[in-house]
Amino acid sequence: MKGKTAIVTGAAKGIGRAIAELIAEKGARVALVDKNKAALDEAVAAMNAAGHQVLGIEADVTRREPCHKAFGAAVSAYGKIDILVNNAGLYIRTPIEKIDDKEWDLIFDVCLRGVFHMMTAGAEHMKAKGSGKIVNISSVDGFVPFPAMAHYAAAKAGVISLTRSFAAAYAEHGVLVNSVAPGATDTGPMRENDYIQKLSQKIPLKRGAQPREIAEAVCYLAGDSNTYTTGENMIVSGGLVIA
């Protein structure tokens, strides 16, 4: 990825930060996009101190205007964008019967609407220059029933569908679009109430993933080695979901 430029949304913590760090370690300049300014500033400072070329863009990527503005800011800073990783998401556990319209809209705004608008900005930019890679973070919950988070699962299924549609639409322009579906991953939300430990008993590898392991999958799809894979969803779940 040396000489490449990238945008990672939801990059201040967890999987997003691991992705941004690994892309930077591989030689790319990275724009970290997040609405959490304090966490974003900390991540940018740490990565710059490690010798990486990164910048922070504070944005709430749930509507078209801020999404396109954030993408434009990265283009202004770097001149072009070669890689877009849509990682921003919101993980709320609510039983089906207790999901109200406000929470439904919030989940879909963060997990699906924002992905669509960032993809639109990214795909059109990459189409104009004749190449690019887009990787969306979906979830194994997009493949299996999940009554405790039906809205989240539905939104992530939507991400998988959008990935396929964009892949078909932009393949002829040299833009490869794929998604990665993590299973249980050792991040803050998954540690609440020992959820990841409980779920680990159902995982054939008997543990959750480390964020870096998800980042490795993303970097394959976003890197130079991927020249022929598009419209695919790579499941990284330790065997929890085998499709």
- Residues annotated as catalytic (active site), given as ranges: 152
Tell me if 226 sits within 8 A of 220, measured CB to CB.
yes
Both tokens assigned to 95: 């039983």
**Minimal CA–CA distance to 163: which of 174, 172, 175?**
175
Contacts of 181 (CB under 8 A, 6+ apart): 137, 138, 139, 140, 142, 143, 156, 160, 233, 234, 235, 236, 237, 241
Are 117 and 123 in contact by the 8 Å Cβ rule? The answer is: no
Instruction: Using DSSP bridges, classify how beta strands 54-58 and 83-86 pair: parallel, antiparallel or unpaired.
Output: unpaired
Q: Is 182 helix (H, G, I), strand (E, B) or coil?
A: strand
Q: What is the C-alpha to C-alpha distance for residues 180 and 233, in angstroms, rounded to an integer?
A: 5
Closest CA to 219 of 77, 32, 85: 85
